[in-house]
Structure 1
Amino acid sequence: MLATLACIGALLRGSAVPAPTRVHQQRARVSASASPPVRDCLVVGSGVSGSVLAHYLHSSGADVLLTEARDVVGGNIISRTDGEFTWEEGPNSFQPTPTVMRTAYELGIADDLVFADPSLPPWVYFRGELYALPKNLPGDLINFNLLSWPGKIRAGLGAVGLLLQPPPEKEENIREFVTRHLGEETFLRIIDPFVSGVYAGDPNKLSMRAALKKIFRLQTLGFNGALVPGALVRFEEIAQEKKDNPPAPEWPTYKAGELGSFRKGLQTMPNAVAAELGDERVALGHKLRAVSRESDGTYTATFQTANGERVVRAKTVVSTAPAHAIADVLAEVVPEAKRLHDIYYPPVAAVTVAYPKEDFKNPDLPGFGSLNPRTEGVRTLGTIWSSSLFPGRAPPGYNLLLNYIGGSRDPQIAELTTEEIIAEVHKGCQQVLLKPNAPQPKVLGCRVWPTAIPQYEFGHLELLEELEQGEARAPGFYLGGNYRTGVAFGDCVQFGFDQAERVKAYLEETAASAGVAGAIVAPAATSP
């Protein structure tokens, strides 16, 4: 148990700008007499995955076009400011990785990075009290009262394998896996609120090996199928990976356990990519309506724009748009893409409010946020204490709170009015953080995402296998996004980097087979 919480914290943290950069929308090309040029790569969707992919392709010399259905880049990353407060209306932070740091360095935004104090703990609300999850193990566990002593003992014995049933033959959901390893109490009081806060999901439906694959893998690494022995092996692997692939000395550095963002919000990164690419390589207000593979192996995509229809031709296509948005369009090339409709995206509202500090039970808010177990009668899933995390998020005298509410166990949130959602959030803040009779908050943002976070439920990995088989029959056509690579910011950045390598390799291979030398010359760089 002592090491298990440390392992979970170390292995699971991932992760929620000036006014968004508006790249001038391209005029639609409707001339039937002129054939559009053939791009090296068409990237559909300008969220983190698509933007980072476009950056690495562009920096390698590829001719890339980044398209976005909305009128600003960033996808679901939306950073806002009113001059006093700065807040997020989607993802809120990231766990630093070498690839995130490399990308920030290459985009010239390393000086805009901000990091939270790694000693700030997450808190869990239980039976009317807030409990800080341990940061310094094993010492903090002595006074860690969220778990009873029987609960601690059960979790500890299971974590080292002394009280652990063998895995069943059937696939386990998150609840079954955690309960088998650590006990019901640890699940209900720690893991359940974590799953609600990260996935807005139902642990009875989420596949353990799909949703939390890093933790699931631990039972395969140790000598007895327990989490602690597996974690020790994994930490050795991580150390070796860092030794084999050291970060370049010019990349920004960070401390273990830190959370990161940018001074003006996460949208800083896609904005920087858009600025790097320029107007000719970024097309906003472009909704993909059709795509087809031509006899020469290239692809033709048709977009609907405010100025009419636009046709784009490309040697490769990477779709990073949400699965539910264009599944039918993608199915014209990869029929298996119709299965993307089977991925459930529950509604979630991101509500940012501010209260004067004197209205809080603890005005300092010494942590990065609070999670609410579903057993505690608080409708809000969790609250990020934004002004405690990063500097400049709120003026002196105020605390800024980003609240997430809804999810797969509360889809009714989508049926409420904005006023009703804000009222529920205020009620939750009163229950957990505020003094009695605290006034109404200053409301900065209330964005309802009708289809928010893909749920990695039973059958998800099999669905991804079908997509891979379909891709194999359409060389140069790739499906990506957080339904495939993970929902954290860092996962999406890593996808962009990795996918750029795949696309470059394909372009080089096809150019070589066609007798064209030096299609892309990538600049030398240290591997992350």
Structure 2
Amino acid sequence: MGSFARSKRGVRVQAGEGVPMEEVEAVVVGSGVSGSSLAFHLKQSGVNVVCAEANSRVGGNLISKKNEEGFQWEEGPNTFQPTPQIMRFAHDLGIANDLVFANPTLPRLVFWDDKLWPLPMKPQDAVFNFGLISWPGKIRAGLGAMGIPPFYQPPPEGKEESIEEFVTRHLGEETFTKVIDPFVSGVYAGDPKKLAIRGALKKIYALEQLSFNGGFIPGAAVRIKQKKEEEDSEQFKKEWREGVDLMPPGGALGSFRDGLIQMAEATEKALNQDGQNRMRVGWKLKEIEKDDQGMYTALFDTPSGERGLRAPALSITAPAHRAKPFLQKVAPDAGELLEKIYYPPVASVTLAYPTSALKPEAPGVSETGKLQGFGHLIPRKAAAKAGVRTLGTIWSSSLFPYRAPEGYEMLLCYIGGSRDVAIGKMDEEEIYKQCDQDIRKVLLKDGWDGEVKKLGIRVWPTAIPQYEKGHLDVLENIQKNCPSGLFLGGNYKTGVAFGDCVDFGIQEAKKISSYLKKKVAAIPAGELATAKAGKVATAA
């Protein structure tokens, strides 16, 4: 490499062929939820970090949109389940006052036999007021959940269970088909016959391990006690106090006044404050190399031409299929393993209808005729019978204020997934038409012939990573094949929930900070000293 040159704005190195090169301590590739959280918390830890985003704006798959009619919608992730980690992140970013929460008492519904069924909010409702599950099905699920043989059977030895196998063993086929199957479609757009319970639903899987007899209910009692002890500890209160203080009532979904993109934009502002240019947009990664000193060189195509970043720690938070090509020189075996992770196509489609078009008698429709609920999910068996294809629909205008003008209901449909991959080959107009047909069958008055507002559509050819059987073994082998200083992340590794990705950034920042402290002695003193010397250079 060329010689180092110190400046008031940081360190710049001239690469061998005239490529401007900057020396930092850590490079984060990708500014989605995982990358934004990681870059911010590295900066908070005192690490000299640069976050590079290929798109011309921050946020990765976070896409919040508005139009002049007063509609506001999401085309990527749409809400989050509040956690102390998300809440503290919002506090630290200075956007806590922009948090918005849905009413936790709003019903969630399932479409079955051509009607909507509200899911029970309380245990007693599940027994006495939930007509979707038959009495034999309720008895089977209840006794299995308590761990009572022969309704509960222990897990098979030496076999990784799918979600379908695990849930059916515990709760029975009816509860799986009518309740769990649509839930899996809503979260993963996946096939519960293939998704592994210990990877995709690890908290549910853990209940059996915690239980004295294998039943969910005894396991849940143990977990509730453990969680209370954790949250009552002085260490937890000290670390997450600001987040805990912002937590809403249980079950409330969250967002921000201007949509989820607000978190990424606030991260960009925080990283670039005081003239520091730590967030680089339009920086498309081309190549990664590692030298014999353990330093990574990442080359980018940027709006200003080719640029480079050099650091002892490099994190790639891009999806698995996008990360693979960049590992050819530094971790080829890990790159090949990333190819095993499957992402099915999913389309998110936002439509709006006049409130007057709703079936007044439908569950979830209030006395005023407006929607009042989180949304509805559709089991695949019910979908086939009714001739619908959507996985489920979020009633967006019911969740948060100012998402739709008065007199309209805004709905976000998801369609596709691993059991309907043909969606990835359909044109947008066909997808719009299919979602509109499905909404008319589920929510609208018979014969309503008004015009739907087509607000937005986003077809994700590779949408959600599938935690299928063997996925955790693949991740373990990927980790074994990553050289020191290379950190891979993203929702294929940490979980697909918004909160999983935020927490990944927090924990990974601790890991990278610890790695850098241990690395100091192994890097020539002059290089790391200059890399730590204050602000990052402004990109030319």
- What's the TM-score, normalizing by structure 1? 0.90
1:511–1:519 CA contact under 8 A, matched in 2: no
Which amino acid is 1:301 matched to?
A: A
Q: Aligned residue for 1:216?
A: 205
Q: Aligned residue for 1:257?
A: 251
After TM superposition, give the deviation of residue 468 of structure 1 in Å.
Answer: 1.5
Match of 1:179 among 154, 168, 181: 168
Match of 1:59 among 25, 29, 44: 44
Q: Aligned residue for 1:301?
A: 298
Q: Aligned residue for 1:437?
A: 447
Q: Aligned residue for 2:412?
A: 402
Aligned-residue sequence identity (percent) comes to 52
Q: Aligned residue for 2:284?
A: 287
Q: Aligned residue for 1:272?
A: 266
Match of 2:135 among 137, 149, 152: 149
After TM superposition, give the deviation of residue 329 of structure 1 in Å.
Answer: 1.3
Q: Aligned residue for 1:3?
A: none
After TM superposition, give the deviation of residue 304 of structure 1 in Å.
Answer: 2.4
| Number of residue pairs the alignment of both structures matches | 492
Listed one character per residue, the Cα deviations across residues 278-333 of structure 1 (whole Å, up to 9, x for unaligned) are 27212222222211111111100112234432221112101000101121212421
After TM superposition, give the deviation of residue 496 of structure 1 in Å.
Answer: 0.5
Q: Secondary structure at the match of 1:248?
A: helix
Which amino acid is 1:107 matched to?
A: L
Measure, in 1, the Cα distance between the counterparts of 2:115 and 2:433. Answer: 22
Which amino acid is 1:267 matched to?
A: I
Q: Aligned residue for 1:365?
A: 371
Match of 2:314 among 293, 313, 317: 317
Q: Aligned residue for 2:511?
A: 502
Q: Aligned residue for 1:200?
A: 189
Which amino acid is 1:510 matched to?
A: K
Computing the radius of gyration from Cα coordinates, the structure with the larger value is 2
Listed one character per residue, the Cα deviations across residues 218-269 of structure 1 (whole Å, up to 9, x for unaligned) are 1111111111111111111111111121232575232111110001100100
2:23–2:309 CA contact under 8 A, matched in 1: yes
Match of 2:53 among 62, 68, 75: 68
Listed one character per residue, the Cα deviations across residues 99-120 of structure 1 (whole Å, up to 9, x for unaligned) are 1011000100000000111111
Measure, in 1, the Cα distance between the counterparts of 2:278 and 2:14. Answer: 14
Match of 1:461 among 469, 472, 476: 472
Match of 1:338 among 336, 339, 342: 336
Matches within 5 A, 1:415-494: 415-438=425-448, 439-471=450-482, 474-494=483-503
Measure, in 2, the Cα distance between the counterparts of 1:477 and 1:452. Answer: 24
Q: Aligned residue for 1:328?
A: 325
Which amino acid is 2:447 matched to?
A: N
2:120–2:129 CA contact under 8 A, matched in 1: no
Q: Secondary structure at the match of 2:259?
A: coil
Answer with 242-251 or 225-234: which moved more: 242-251
Q: Secondary structure at the match of 1:36?
A: strand
Q: Aligned residue for 2:241?
A: 248
Measure, in 2, the Cα distance between the counterparts of 1:318 and 1:383. Answer: 35
Measure, in 1, the Cα distance between the counterparts of 2:164 and 2:14. Answer: 53
Listed one character per residue, the Cα deviations across residues 434-464 of structure 1 (whole Å, up to 9, x for unaligned) are 1122323101101100000000111101101
After TM superposition, give the deviation of residue 410 of structure 1 in Å.
Answer: 0.4
Q: Aligned residue for 1:16?
A: none
After TM superposition, give the deviation of residue 337 of structure 1 in Å.
Answer: 2.4
Measure, in 1, the Cα distance between the counterparts of 2:306 and 2:398. Answer: 47
Which amino acid is 1:204 matched to?
A: K
After TM superposition, give the deviation of residue 271 of structure 1 in Å.
Answer: 0.6
Q: Secondary structure at the match of 1:304?
A: strand
Measure, in 1, the Cα distance between the counterparts of 2:126 and 2:473. Answer: 41
Measure, in 1, the Cα distance between the counterparts of 2:493 and 2:289. Answer: 22
- What's the TM-score, normalizing by structure 2? 0.88
Which amino acid is 2:345 matched to?
A: P
**C-alpha RMSD of matched pairs (Å):** 2.0
Q: Aligned residue for 2:536?
A: none
Q: Secondary structure at the match of 2:414?
A: strand
2:20–2:307 CA contact under 8 A, matched in 1: no
